Homo-oligomer: A and B are copies of this chain.
């Protein structure tokens, strides 16, 4: 039986509350002096949490697999990311706060450069600035397709989101990006008969986009990838029998929470405002997901010191969350983002879980190395919610 089915069977509503603070990109690798970002930062509150709770390190997908933000978060919420797939198009739309509806077909778009023969000379159109992207998207919004609404939304640089809204749009489509230069964009093909109509519409969009962008070199063509519709996820609230709030500053993370059926709230301008918001909402929900972004951004930038600083910022905000006295408090991340890699990585991510029902595990600091020695050891991120539920006394026993 899958985790979620078991949770659905065993969960009971109780007054206890669970808070999960997700530090995006938590977990790194040693910098110049041999210490990781977590080990270099001064983190009195996180260290105290680690000492008073139980610790471990989590793996979001499988050993060696680097999670994207979607799979990383789904796993934390208890959804096996290998079962529940979020397409790139959907994620791109969620990332800009587009209000995707069930049945919408979303794709990730790139502006690209093509030569007179239509062959791709730059898959990213010379990384045009976002301002130009905004103007070009206005041109693309003039495209009309029969029986569907067309949305074209700028994302950043050369990237945009395309959403087709109508009935019967299947996501079973191939991509137009040949993944290398010197070739023409590929036609969209249906992977199954029920996707024929969506394929035809996507190809009409590409054809009209080519016409609309003629003369706009370097951004004189588009590439479309990751055609996808909103996945149908079991409802978080129904599975765990909790009223759940998602608090995040960036749209993508609110979008991921919304996918699971959480009620989402714009977090304000920084982690302190997010914590204050959690406080104001405290009586209205049983589960709080709070997202902190800056650690990941700093890691992606390869800025070790900025990541250290971001960790110290979230540490300073932690007491406000603890002051709300959640019955179970979890602090962890959706994936590692080591500054030295300037990217997400596959390394297990530290986790601390605060609960009264624990064996003291001797961990005294919140870091990759310390948490690994904790009571929870190394475990799957999809087990975080079952453990949180157990410690919050929200599960009945399995079998008699």
Contact = CB atoms under 8 A, between A and B. Distances in A.
Interface string A354-373: 00011111000000110010
A168 interface: no
Nearest to A377: B378
Given A359-B368, A372-B375, A377-B377, A65 B10 contact: yes
Contacts of A383: 62-64
Interface stretch (A79-87, A116-124, A145-153, A290-298): A79-87
A229 to B, nearest CB: 15
Interface in A36-94: 36, 61-71, 81-82, 85-86, 88, 91-92
Contact of A400 (B70, B82, B345): B70
A200 B372 CA distance: 56
A344 B400 CA distance: 11
Contact of A386 (B29, B63, B397): B63
A345 B359 contact: no
A379 B338 CA distance: 23
Contacts of A3: 62
Given A86-B399, A88-B400, A387 B64 contact: yes
A246 interface: no
Contact of A398 (B68, B377, B385): B68
A387 B358 CA distance: 28
Contact of A397 (B66, B361, B372, B385): B66
A36 B359 CA distance: 8
Contacts of A345: 357, 390
A341 interface: yes
B65 A398 contact: yes
Contacts of A386: 62-65
A278 B3 CA distance: 39
Nearest to A369: B359
A30 B226 CA distance: 52
Contacts of A63: 379-380, 383, 386-387, 390
Contacts of A91: 399-400
A237 to B, nearest CB: 19
A236 interface: no
Contacts of A389: 64
Contacts of A92: 400
A253 interface: no
Contact of A71 (B34, B226, B399): B399
A1 interface: yes
A137 interface: no
The list of the 9 closest CB pairs from A to B, nearest first, reads: A64-B386, A68-B399, A64-B390, A71-B399, A63-B383, A66-B397, A64-B387, A91-B400, A346-B390
16 contacts: A29-B359, A30-B359, A63-B379, A63-B383, A64-B386, A66-B396, A66-B398, A67-B398, A67-B399, A81-B398, A86-B400, A91-B400, A92-B400, A341-B357, A346-B387, A347-B357
